[in-house]
A and B are shown apart, each in its own frame.
Chain A
């Protein structure tokens, strides 16, 4: 049995069958439980681990429907609208879920009804059953008010008033109830009765298109996975074509026999509708994957299109131009599938005179897909270095002409450089519309040391304001 700190005391939060037989209930204090049963084995509650387990179960349940939501500490909502026929009807579906999860060693209860609230109430306070719309009211009426997902204080207050069953609440006039307990009670009641629509929020974005293959015999090898991926991708094509789109982000979901679920996603730089290229994305992805352990094999493979964009049918010309674009986007896809989208980047210029702000890095896979803004042309700009440090490096022991002169000697990375020639200063003011007060004016100098090295350094702040001078190395010239 598990314990946790609730209201400053150690209380039971979960107990197994054996403990139940001894008469222990969750919510009891630990001392009381020890008094009832001295030999009790106590384990601290680990909420994170419980959560992980619930997530794993949810992942596993993904095979029934993509619309899944976690509920509280130990519940799952499955929106099975339109999915039941795949499993042979509602009763087969419920039976299948309960049987499989029980086999895994879970204690499971389940109910199917037309509203999440009713399902919750029935499976927790009644039997595992399917509730049809007609006998909704009769089943709900004898259930305790706790079945309405109300907080314990409200439940206790209702019980004091003698409203012990949901049926009592249904017969009570609504206005006094709302005045006394707030709108919560009525909302939950309406939700359970199905009068109020309650939407569950799915854990994952719902794929716009998805295709899957269930296997009688689990597969293990990479070639088999890729072979099946190709076949599944083939099934997706007609869907993509019907919508006139191509996929930008694909996800391959692998359900392992023991319930573990792996999700591999791979993005494409352009909308994609080519089976070979989709497969190639995943072959790159699989090649770099370390933690994919096939174990006893995968039994279900599913390919989702998470994100799609209009696919332009382009008449290819005979010139090399087209092929070149294609080869570039193929390369970019390969790299971002293998090493992640941030590995390959391109520059984008911004209109700013602060050197490090004038450029920003954009992942190449994004940059290829859209039209890049034309680089702002700045005329009469003085020369800029070839390489720029991301973070300017402080210089030590400099000797500089005051107030505005360049240094004659400075020390950088434990080397002293004697300055032979200097150009500058080029004064760059901070961008007051972005920066706060701490940003200081910079005076940039282009220096050449006696050994011929050319540097780009700046002094932070003005000499008149603070006599303390801070010099920084910011770039290297050719």
Chain B
């Protein structure tokens, strides 16, 4: 026992020396590493972005942390529209909230958003459209996009953008599960985001779930849009209302999966919980013939043996 303590002492002494050499604050090293993080965590509460939906905010411990890494993924490229829309919705909320000003006041002072596009995703699903961005309440002038040629460039860009602190949010689009974007890289990015206090969002198009350092991971699927109603409550037939997407919170501190349908109200620029569409009496076939079940709470049908898996296998 004593030997272990001595070894630990040595480690701390070394760490302190390294920290001094690098000119960092050495206070956090007087306790063990885990405890130091704990203390820091309690000292300054992480600022969070509330999504405006009570159920979701509760599951997210009050909202998305402003200095963290979040992952949004779609399981197939055809869901790219929905995943991009949810990403942009968060970006829009963040851009407005980041200033602490009302949307009207903000105007000029908004921090820009950076979208680091992925080559394949651009080919498959196109670029974000400037006029479409306006529907999300974003000024196209404050929306920058980068088109790196390789993944290494994209990672460099993401890291530099987060570190510069110039952007309200950096969106890194990735398609699939590339080999060179694994746990190490995502840990690096998340530390970078933590240090600079800026949010980084990884948008994984057509990707599997994979071990990463993100605080939260959402799976976005598209769903039939809401109906449009006339002033007297009658259904406006043949029209497409607010966009709806099914959101599954796959990774959070809460072990249970949370799954709900959200709709983006482009007029109020906020997310709402979508009420299931009333079956309309039109002659068209129903949007979904089968019952849509929510994701199972326990994930698996039968419990697996303990200790077989520590983290997900790399999907790449």
Contact = CB atoms under 8 A, between A and B. Distances in A.
Interface string A329-344: 0110011001100111
Interface residues of A, number: 51
B131 A355 contact: yes
A347 B143 contact: yes
Interface string B153-165: 1001100110011
B226 to A, nearest CB: 11
B45 to A, nearest CB: 21
Nearest to B108: A321
Interface in B134-166: 134-136, 139-141, 143-149, 153, 156-157, 160-161, 164-166
Contacts of B233: none
Contacts of B88: 386
B130 A358 contact: yes
Contacts of B133: 347
Interface in A292-345: 321, 324, 327-328, 330-331, 334-335, 338-339, 342-345
A344 B161 CA distance: 11
Interface stretch (B24-32, B236-244, B296-304): B236-244
A108 B311 CA distance: 72
B126 A347 contact: no
Given A359-B140, A478-B245, A343 B147 contact: yes
Contact of B284 (A359, A421, A478): A421
Nearest to B86: A478
Nearest to B282: A421
A372 to B, nearest CB: 5
Contacts of A358: 130-131
A146 interface: no
A478 B141 CA distance: 21
A387 B224 contact: no
A386 B223 CA distance: 16
A390 B126 contact: yes
Specify which of B84, B126, B128, B288 lies most central, judged by the most chain A CB atoms within 10 Å of its CB: B126
Contacts of A448: 224-225, 240
Interface stretch (A33-41, A77-85, A119-127, A377-385): A377-385
A423 B141 contact: no
A359 B131 contact: yes
Contacts of A367: 141
The 10 closest A-B pairs by CB, nearest first: A478-B85, A476-B81, A478-B243, A359-B130, A347-B140, A388-B129, A328-B166, A331-B164, A384-B131, A387-B126
